[in-house]
Amino acid sequence: MKIGFIGLGNMGSPMAANLVAAGHEVIGFDLVTECPTGVSKAASAVKAATGADVVITMLPNGAILRAVAAEIIPVMSDGATFVDCSTVDVESARAVADDAVAAGLLTVDAPVSGGIGGASAGTLTFMAGGSDAAFAVAQPLFDIMGQKAVHCGPSGNGQAAKICNNMILGATMIATCEAFALADKLGLDRQAMFDVVSTSSGYSWTMNAYCPAPSIGPQSPADNDYKPGFASELMLKDLRLSQQAAEAVDADTPMGARATELYTSFVEQEGGKGTDFSAMLPRFEKKGRS
């Protein structure tokens, strides 16, 4: 396939490189970063999209996605497929999909889970929204860049799945960290806490697979001085998207709202920016109840 790839940052660059390694012709464009080896460089987003069978975008946010989409949708070939893998608000995903469908394109919103490591290793999980026909075109590419792709329903549902998952993740990480900090103050050994919780009803991915306490459980960013991993500011971005979506549909999400508040202060006032999102544990260690 001839693939246009727009947004070659931390995630897009290794994803594009994996498509090249699988034998696809990839024409890339980024405002700032260089193309990875094997990806031909286009002079603009429009040039990367023109004549492509599939265009993939991997951009920072919904406003940028909307701007890029407005440029490229008019020049994409009739019947081509627009796959957006960025994490953006559900409204932007649906607006871009509507414009693309109106222009005779197939479209999939397909945010990912798995981070930079998953992008490099080709083990991402894709959560996809769009028609069956569009998903069928994109699926072989998801299989190259990832290990699993779930078709979640119509346009926007990929983003919906992503923010619901990450709202659970943010709230659960906070619950796990505050419980460790409480256990410390109660004189409970962290290893004992892990041994109990990881095999009891309090278990979770954050406890069992990504334990925020150093030297406990499997290797995690806590064992690497809380270097990300999944940075706190990216967690905050996704939590904010979840609350934006909850407001739009009048959903009551008090845990998501509190998690958003805590990550906002952590990132903006408490030095959490640039640390892994599990660095909430040292933050709780330092604090009392007020």
Active site residues: 162
Query: Contact 276/229 with Cβ under 8 angstroms?
Result: yes
Which residue among 3, 4, 5, 7 contacts ligand NAD (CB under 6 A)? 7
Contact status: 18 vs ligand NAD (CB under 6 A)? no
Nearer to ligand NAD by Cβ, of 64 and 188: the residue is 64
Contact status: 30 vs ligand NAD (CB under 6 A)? yes
Query: Contact 54/81 with Cβ under 8 angstroms?
Result: yes
Cα 18 to Cα 120: distance, rounded to the nearest angstrom: 8
Contact status: 274 vs ligand NAD (CB under 6 A)? no
Nearer to ligand NAD by Cβ, of 268 and 285: the residue is 268
Quick one: which segment of 19-27, 29-37, 137-145, 274-282 binds ligand NAD (CB under 6 A)? 29-37
Quick one: which segment of 23-31, 134-142, 145-153, 216-224 binds ligand NAD (CB under 6 A)? 23-31
Which 208-227 positions form the footprint of ligand NAD (CB under 6 A)? none
Contact status: 87 vs ligand NAD (CB under 6 A)? yes
Which residue among 90, 93, 112, 127 contacts ligand NAD (CB under 6 A)? 112
Give start and end residues of each alpha helix (H) in the chain.
12-21, 45-49, 62-72, 90-102, 115-121, 132-145, 157-185, 190-197, 205-208, 232-248, 254-269, 280-286
* Both structure tokens of 15: 């994803």
Least distance to ligand NAD, CB of residue 276, Å: 11
Cα 40 to Cα 48: distance, rounded to the nearest angstrom: 9
Contact status: 167 vs ligand NAD (CB under 6 A)? no
Contact status: 116 vs ligand NAD (CB under 6 A)? yes
Cα 271 to Cα 236: distance, rounded to the nearest angstrom: 14
Quick one: which segment of 31-39, 146-154, 171-179, 243-251 binds ligand NAD (CB under 6 A)? 31-39
Please name the residues in contact with 213: beta carbons below 8 A apart, sequence gap of 6 or more: 180, 190, 193, 194, 222, 281
Nearest position to ligand NAD, beta carbon? 9
Nearer to ligand NAD by Cβ, of 81 and 87: the residue is 87
Nearer to ligand NAD by Cβ, of 89 and 270: the residue is 89
Compute CA distances 136 → 126, 128, 139, 260, whole Å. Answer: 13, 11, 5, 35
Answer whether the bond into residue 118 is a cis peptide, omega within 30°.
no
Which residue among 32, 43, 102, 186 contacts ligand NAD (CB under 6 A)? 32
Least distance to ligand NAD, CB of residue 287, Å: 27
Which 57-76 positions form the footprint of ligand NAD (CB under 6 A)? 58-60, 64, 68
Cα 24 to Cα 27: distance, rounded to the nearest angstrom: 10
Contacting residues toward ligand NAD, per CB under 6 A: 6-12, 29-33, 45, 58-60, 64, 68, 86-87, 112, 115-116, 230, 234, 237
